Amino acid sequence: MPLISHTPAWKSLEQLWDRTAGLRMRDLFEEDPGRCERFSLEECGIHLDYSKNLITDETMQHLMALVRTADLRFWGDSLLRGDKVNNTEGRAVLHMALRNVGDRSYQVDGVDVMPGVRAVLKRMRAFADEVRQGRWLGHTGRPIRDVVSIGIGGSSLGPKMVCNALRPYQSHDLRVHFVSNVDGTQLVETLNGLDPATTLFVIASKTFTTQETSTNADSARAWCLAALQDQAAIARHFVAVSTNREAVIRFGIDPQNMFEFWEWVGGRYSLWSAIGLPIALAIGPDRFDELLAGAYAMDEHFVEAPPERNMPIILALLGIWYNNFGGADTQAVIPYDQYLEHFPTFLQQLDMESNGKRVTRDGVPVDYATGAVVWGQPGTDAQHSFFQLIHQGTRLIPTDFILPLRSQHPLEGHHDKLVANCLAQAQALMRGRTEAEARSELQAGGIAPEVIDRLVPHRTFPGNRPSNMLLVEQVTPKVLGSLIALYEHKVFVQGVVWGVDSFDQWGVELGKQLAGQILADFREIACSAGVDSSTASLIRRYHMAMSD
């Protein structure tokens, strides 16, 4: 397979970008009253309005040709068949099986994975019910009040984001906390004020060898034993989610208290598996099922809908349009919903770990940009910090707005303002303010002509800055499931076009290895041979600080 950048479909998109560089979105809207309707799509409770993009029908046709050139259909079928799509790790990628509430069959090496998936879901359901209904008792016979999930990366970011997003659905007498960082501060601050007799730890780690998670889990166990003074307490206060049964047993967790998942579940795609146990504990198993059902609905849409009406494909191609032809380096994601505050961070891992790759799946260096830098934070706060740069800076920053139409807390006057601000930002990015408009506004304010001349360049907005608007009625478990799956498939489609393995993450390995060596140097109070002078000097400074 040649690099995608060497194909006619890619070349014609390069030419198209140059040819359409002069298009003004303002004009496109004025010329075509049907633009919004034509470039909008409704699926799984999500209304996507992508009309405020630098596109015409011709652009979309060319982008669709690109996705055909990349043979998305082949890769989609491979994914569904359980082929080893993650080729550098030799693994199938079947997170869709985890939310397969329909009757699709998913197999790995000829073995149906669905019975195992359903059995674990059943155990999760029973356990979540026991804890939530106060039937699972701690070592001293008291019900659980706090759940502390210890995990990192894919074993934390998804469940943490979902628990926060669905806080309105949580029971008030069970609080769920997340500890990921090896910085002891996070564990200490989280445990501060918790009662070991009513705290349950969920140790979530696919490999059960991750340094941060093991360290936090060891400290949590010490905290628990210091208070409860009995090794037998571990069985009532620790459960594990992992693929590594031996390591779980070695840690001292009863395998009866282990919830299994499988190597074909990638960390950042694992919130649908037993890694979602904290979610089931927080919102209850019925609502966890709704989350799965939402993702399943999006899976079905992705698999069945033609590319031209396929929401993940459209989002993926728009991203590629700016990333590869418009020179955009980043993608902003701005939820106008405080409960979605961790959504951009979750997407950062999903997108950047999946598509932050510099070689194709065959190991050939690419000569085009792959995964964008994903960033963002909730509106309206974002408007008062970095929006200046999106509006008037020198960079092109495509932006996704996510907006629930109904608030979970309809306080008088709040939601109208939230919605108005979100719509206004998208409008302002698209329209901008011309020099003439800026001038006439200043004139209307009675400003002196020489001051107007000075101010006009600063008060002019170029506009023509693209955004997608994703409207939902409300962020329910089902809608959230669909929203997450939408972005998962978007990332998959982009990875297929760029020809990369979106399911490995070798880039996080080197730092881990080197940290291990440096840690050994700390223990030896020495410095390994061959360490560069900068690192050696930093190690010496740490030694000195520790010996003070």
Catalytic site positions: 353, 384, 512
Q: Closest CB to ligand G6Q among 358 and 409? A: 358
d(CA 167, CA 175): 10
Stretch that binds ligand G6Q, among 151-159, 324-332, 475-483, 520-528 (CB under 6 A): 151-159
Q: Closest CB to ligand G6Q among 216 and 310? A: 216
For position 505 contacting ligand G6Q by CB under 6 A, the verdict is yes
Position of tokens 């506009």?
463
Burial 287-323 (b: 16+ CB within 10 A, else e): bbbbbbbbbbbbbbbbeebebeebbbbbbbbbbbbbb
Least distance from ligand G6Q to the Cβ atom of residue 156, Å: 8
Alpha-carbon distances, residue 151 vs 193, 242, 273, 275, 480 (angstroms): 21, 11, 14, 9, 22
Could you give the string, one character per residue 88-127, with x where binding to ligand G6Q holds by CB under 6 A and - elsewhere? ----------------------------------------
Among 300, 351, 353, 400, binds ligand G6Q (CB under 6 A): 353
Q: Closest CB to ligand G6Q among 252 and 462? A: 252
Among 82, 154, 196, 319, binds ligand G6Q (CB under 6 A): 154
Least distance from ligand G6Q to the Cβ atom of residue 128, Å: 20
Stretch that binds ligand G6Q, among 20-28, 83-91, 207-215, 288-296 (CB under 6 A): 207-215
Q: Residues binding ligand G6Q: what is the number (CB under 6 A)? A: 14
Q: Closest CB to ligand G6Q among 290 and 488? A: 488
Position of tokens 């596109």?
55
d(CA 302, CA 316): 12
Stretch that binds ligand G6Q, among 70-78, 150-158, 467-475, 481-489 (CB under 6 A): 150-158
Burial 411-448 (b: 16+ CB within 10 A, else e): eeeebeebbeebeebbebbbbbbeeeebbeebeeeeee
Q: Closest CB to ligand G6Q among 216 and 482? A: 216
Least distance from ligand G6Q to the Cβ atom of residue 353, Å: 6
Least distance from ligand G6Q to the Cβ atom of residue 344, Å: 16
Among 51, 155, 164, 257, binds ligand G6Q (CB under 6 A): 155
Stretch that binds ligand G6Q, among 103-111, 148-156, 226-234, 441-449 (CB under 6 A): 148-156
Phi and psi based region of residue 153 (left: phi greater than 0; alpha: psi -120 to 50; beta: remaining): left
Among 153, 158, 319, 335, binds ligand G6Q (CB under 6 A): 153
Least distance from ligand G6Q to the Cβ atom of residue 270, Å: 7
Among 59, 100, 210, 323, binds ligand G6Q (CB under 6 A): 210
Position of tokens 């993940």?
312
Position of tokens 């970008």?
17
For position 360 contacting ligand G6Q by CB under 6 A, the verdict is no
The beta-carbon contacts of 31-37 under 8 Å, at least 24 apart in sequence, are none
The DSSP result for 180-203, as a single string, is --SSHHHHHHHHTT--GGGEEEEE
d(CA 41, CA 109): 37
Closest of 257, 236, 248, 239 to residue 210, by C-alpha = 248
Least distance from ligand G6Q to the Cβ atom of residue 222, Å: 20
Q: Closest CB to ligand G6Q among 236 and 489? A: 489
The DSSP result for 426-492, as a single string, is HHHHHH-B-HHHHHHHHHHTT--HHHHHHHHHHH-B-----EEEEEES---HHHHHHHHHHHHHHHH
Q: How many residues does the chain have?
A: 548
Residue 204's φ and ψ, nearest 5 degrees, are -110, 110
d(CA 350, CA 437): 41
Q: Closest CB to ligand G6Q among 158 and 398? A: 158
For position 206 contacting ligand G6Q by CB under 6 A, the verdict is yes
For position 399 contacting ligand G6Q by CB under 6 A, the verdict is no
Among 213, 216, 273, 323, binds ligand G6Q (CB under 6 A): 213
DSSP 53: S
Among 100, 190, 205, 257, binds ligand G6Q (CB under 6 A): 205
The residue sitting closest to ligand G6Q, measured at its beta carbon, is 153
Q: Closest CB to ligand G6Q among 190 and 205? A: 205
Among 186, 207, 408, 421, binds ligand G6Q (CB under 6 A): 207
Position of tokens 């026991």?
130
Q: Closest CB to ligand G6Q among 176 and 390? A: 176
3-state per-residue secondary structure call for 316-374: HHHHHHHHHHCCCCEEEEEECCHHHCCHHHHHHHHHHHHHCCCECCCCCECCCCCCCEE
Which residues inside 257-276 make contact with ligand G6Q, applying CB under 6 A? 266-268
Least distance from ligand G6Q to the Cβ atom of residue 511, Å: 11
Q: How many contiguous H segments (helices) and E segments (strands) does the chain have? A: 24, 13
Question: In the complex, which residues of this chain contact ligand G6Q (CB under 6 A)?
Answer: 152-155, 205-207, 210, 213, 266-268, 353, 505
